Amino acid sequence: MYAAWTAKHKPHTLDEVVGNVEAIEKLKNWVKSWDKGPPKRRAAFIYGPPGIGKTVSVEALAKDFNMELVEKNASDYRTQDAVQKFAGLASQYGTLFGKKRLILFDELGGLTGREDRGGVGAITKIVKIAKNPIVLIANNAYNPKLSNLRFYCLLIEFKKPPAGEVMKHLSRICSYECINAEEAALKFIAQRSEGDVRSAVNDLQALAQGKKELTYEDVSWLAYRDRKEVIFSVLRLIFYGKSATGVKHALDMADVDPDMLFEWIYENLPRHLDDPDDLANGMDMLAKADMYRGRIRATQDWTLTRYVIDFMTAGVAMAREKTKPSGFVPFRFPERIKFLSKTRSQRQMQNELGLKIKKRCHISASRSKKEILPYLHIIFENNVLMATRLAKSLDLDAKMIEYLAGTKRQTKAIMKNLA
């Protein structure tokens, strides 16, 4: 049974939270101030980018201070009555056993849209008279609709932790999972995450789970992929969506081109549809999507893109009929994209050699690569004298000679003859 590493390795104490030392200290001092009675600011408003540890910090805070955490997603409580039922009494009374209580309203930003029916106002009233500490969390604390509520709160900003701190966290996870990871590999993942710890851990799991070693080569190809934070959520919508209409909007969420999303779906479909009939139907939908992709390339008729999207999103989603939920199954990065990224420099070298041969032999570059390049490899690997003559004739540079010769020793011998 797989488990999401973001949950498996999430911090359990404030000392384990990545970064934001000053913000956490401010939060701790605010909780301690309740020992002398309700402070002037009876709610702490934590804000900052997603994935940097805001919620886990509050959960760890409750454990460190031995408090009962009453936690709800604020966007699920949009009406005044719903907010009052959840937090009204909880904010006024302690627990049955005398334990201190901490109330958490997460994702407060979900209340600020058109769907808010008095929720923000109700929270503001509760904050004014609360007898237990309340923590509010949002990505942006300065939404105009939160201005009145903000006046009664202690604002605590969480910032993106530096790459070095993220890297240390990834290293601890690798040690726990018995993975020997190169420092350069972890540094690359940390830097690519741009401070989003959750994203970095997701990337690490997708790249390293089931392995004993993680090298820089295993991760360096990520530089060539479209990195979008919501791609995992989009895949879940496609593989587990109930409505064809809802699933079709997945591509809008992804903000990636259809070809890239196709590769993600193709790679992960067999892992999420384990019933043979479901998998066959899902692959059939992908095959039809691929057929239209081919037509688009041949005719440049981009109006056909809608059929590609329909088949690879709604078509794949509706193929799921007999497959039963099997717990958490991690998503894998597309192997075909990974392979093409790793061989990019090699393919570029082959194209350059093909053009050299084309100019000398008056044949197409494509034919040059297929029919002549393999023989050049054999000659350069085995015959220094003939390789030297060919290198002069084709006007090859040192990198081209090294690619054809295969070894540094052979390259050195050929270059010596050329001098």
The pLDDT of 394-406, averaged and rounded, is 90
Neighbours of 97 (CB within 10 A): 6
Predicted model pTM: 0.56
pLDDT of residue 225: 44
Q: What are phi and psi of 118, to 5 degrees?
A: 100, 5
**Four-CA torsion 252, 254, 256, 258, nearest 10 degrees:** -70
| Helices (H), ranges, 209-304 | 216-220, 231-240, 244-248, 250-254, 258-272, 276-299
Percent of the chain with pLDDT over 90: 20
pLDDT of residue 198: 87
Asked if 204 and 189 touch (Cβ cutoff 8 Å), the reply is yes
The pLDDT of 76-87, averaged and rounded, is 57
pLDDT of residue 228: 46
Confidence of residue 186 (pLDDT cuts 50, 70, 90): very high
Model confidence pLDDT, tens digit, residues 239-250: 887 777 767 666
Query: Higher-confidence residue: 185 or 120?
Result: 185
The helix or strand, by DSSP H or E, that contains position 193, with its residue range, turns out to be: helix 183-193
Model confidence pLDDT, tens digit, residues 303-338: 888 888 889 888 998 888 888 776 667 777 777 766
- Report the candidate in 208, 209, 222, 253 with the shortest Cα–Cα distance to residue 235: 253
pLDDT of residue 85: 58
Q: Is the dihedral of CA 215, 217, 220, 226 positive or negative?
A: negative
Q: Is the dihedral of CA 185, 187, 191, 197 positive or negative?
A: positive
Q: Is 263 exposed, middle or buried (0-12, 13-18, 19+ CB in 10 A)?
A: buried
Say which residues have a Cβ less than 8 Å from residue 42's Cβ, sequence separation at least 6: 127, 128, 129, 130, 133, 134, 152
Model confidence pLDDT, tens digit, residues 112-158: 554 445 677 888 888 888 888 989 998 888 888 888 888 889 999 99
The pLDDT of 253-282, averaged and rounded, is 83
